[in-house]
Amino acid sequence: AGCLGGRDGPLPEPTVTSDRIDDGWRLLNESESTVFEQSYGPVTVTALEHTRIYEYVSVAEALSETFGASGSPVVFFATRIDVRPAIDSLPAGVGRDRLMAEVETAAVDAFRSQLSASGIENVEIVDEGTSTVRSGHTATTWQLEGEFAVDGELPLPDGSTRDLAETVEIESRLGVWHDGTDVLVAGGAHPAEPLTGVIDDALPSLIDAETFLEETADEETRDALATEPGTFDEEISALLISVE
């Protein structure tokens, strides 16, 4: 199948094997498309992808319920890419390294697009490295930064409202690896600071975020907005390495 043997028919979905995906995450979107189609001599190589995108429920709902804001700054996605025909049937000189470079470039571009669809913009690569995923394969990894605009209204305790238009710094990570059959891509993003900091910036000086949330939000919402970035990063890292 995939890169090392032919596969006909539909491309299987990527599987997130970590139990964490069932605790707090929900499937937001699922898609299939052609990543790229390119000719190498007489052979046309096609890369097909199957992607599943998840969002962290409590944060998305906290932003929606508290401020009427849309989008989600805590997302995770997993993609399976099948390159057809198999690498071993390609002309001499067209090898896995060259194809993987093509796929990696396409994966980073697709990651930017998926983040943009969640409201995360201006995404830039800040670091590149390697990591070992749970299946034992070596992934090329990237750390990226971006911005998430929180637009909505703050309902103040006195009954008035205040426009909320703040930008949250976002941290994200992405991994791409070959599992002997297909190319797997996984990544996620989260705020670089607790979202309560955004509320503090937007509130009048007479009230702080903690007081505001005590009066306007339930405990689950308060906890979601106060979550430290390290908690989300640990969650996304565990999900990333579990994709098969």
- 198: which residues sit within 8 A by CB, 6+ positions away? 150, 164, 166, 168
DSSP code, position 204: -
C-beta separation of 151 from 69 below 8 A: yes
Q: How confident is the model at residue 209 (pLDDT cuts 50, 70, 90)?
A: confident
DSSP code, position 59: H
Q: Report whether pLDDT(115) > 50.
A: yes
Return the pLDDT at 233: 97
Strand partners, 121: 147
- The residue-averaged pLDDT of 146-160 equals 86
Q: What percent of the chain has pLDDT above 70?
A: 92
DSSP code, position 80: E
DSSP code, position 3: G
Q: Which domain holds residue 7?
A: 2-241
Q: How confident is the model at residue 89 (pLDDT cuts 50, 70, 90)?
A: low
Q: Report whether pLDDT(2) > 50.
A: no
pTM: 0.90
- The residue-averaged pLDDT of 190-203 equals 89
Q: How many structural domains does the chain have?
A: 1
